[in-house]
Amino acid sequence: MTERGSVGFRRLDAGSTGGSADSSTTPPVPGAEILDDAIASALLPVRDKRGHKGAFGKLLVLAGSLDYAGAALLVCRAAGRAGAGLVTLAVPESLQPLFAAKVVEATTMALPEDDVEEVDPEPAMARILDHEHDAIVVGPGLRPGLATTELVRQLLATPEEGSIAPLVLDAEALRSLASLEDWWAGEDRPCVLTPHAGEFARLRAGSGADPDDDGDLVGDDAARATAARDAARTWGQVVVLKGARTVIAAPDGRVAVAPFENPALASGGTGDVLAGTIGSLLAQRLDPFDAARLGVYLHGQAGDTVRERIGDAGLLASDLPDPIAVARKRLAAVAERRAAGSRLGFGVRSTTPPPPEPEILTATEPPGEDELPRVDA
């Protein structure tokens, strides 16, 4: 039996689990930022008090299949809880009755098929372009196949007319990308890619890199940040490398790291919730790097909330959307307190001690006669 201290406690060594309290606040690579309340709250999109549902973003979701219907439902619910005003779920037309009976707040749109449950890329793309939207989430739960790959390829291209809505690419969309040669070349839409370590390795292999050169993409934070930064620069897109301490990398070299390490999030569908959250923030007109950083932070906060209630196991993806809304409310309160402090002339208290004041030397007068030392004769 391990010997315990006098009251049942023992001192943790500096290198033991729980003894390195600074691990979640130390950047894994130079220049990376560790996300916190102050950073995340500053990213929140403004909510106009006189705004309407159309003013808070219209998100189009291309997700779901008969085998993975839940993925589409999770994306839509998360998008609504993250603040999107309107969410539309686009599915193969043979599946529209099924999904229309499941979604409540979202609307549905039928996409033309060339086989049962398989979209016909050309007419489907035409219908997508005719639909008014501010951002698109594509991939969660889609049926694998050449038709899906072709649809993803067409979605990447910048449309000749109309606004250029950004994309969130997840799950099957990422597997499609890995099979497309030089998919990142040319004028593509702004995108956020949300791979886990396995999907990331496939994408790297598909772009000519050796995944083994990236190192341990599960347990090595420095390797994860370095690989994500290199991939974002190569592909010219924002990359969210999911996992413990999720990494968000921008094409210009910026890197952010989430502080969350939560094994409860290791369950099916939690990535779909993240995709919907980021897509919602893109629709609310955050730029891709900001939407990815805030989405990851809200998702992590929601996961911690559920973990505090049920522990390290048993979290379901459907547990997350409601706490995401609560996490956003909490960050809004942080932003309001900061704004109130600024109006009153107060700022954020720095934890860095002020430099010592320089010593001021002044000339002294010569001592008077009564101050001179007496010398006995």
Question: Tell me: the pLDDT tens digits for 338-357?
Answer: 988 766 655 544 433 444 44
Q: 240 pairs with which residues across the strands?
A: 248
Q: What is the predicted pLDDT for the residue at 138?
A: 98
CA distance 329 to 324: 9
Q: Walk me through the domains of the chain, giving residue ranges and CATH numbers.
A: 33-340 (3.40.1190.20)
Could you tell me which of 159, 160, 208 has the C-alpha nearest to residue 180?
Answer: 208
Q: What angle do CA 183, 296, 211 make, to 5 degrees?
A: 45
Least confident of 25-34, 237-246, 327-336, 367-376: 367-376
pLDDT 10s digits, 365-376: 444 544 444 444
Write out the two tokens for 125. Answer: 């793309």
DSSP at 159: P
CA distance 88 to 80: 11
Q: What is the mean pLDDT of residues 8-17?
A: 36
At 24, is the pLDDT very low, low, confident or very high (cuts 50, 70, 90)? low
The dihedrals phi and psi of 225, each to the nearest 5 degrees, come to -65, -40
Write out the two tokens for 123. Answer: 């007419």
Write out the two tokens for 202. Answer: 């496939």
> In this model, does residue 145 exceed pLDDT 70?
yes
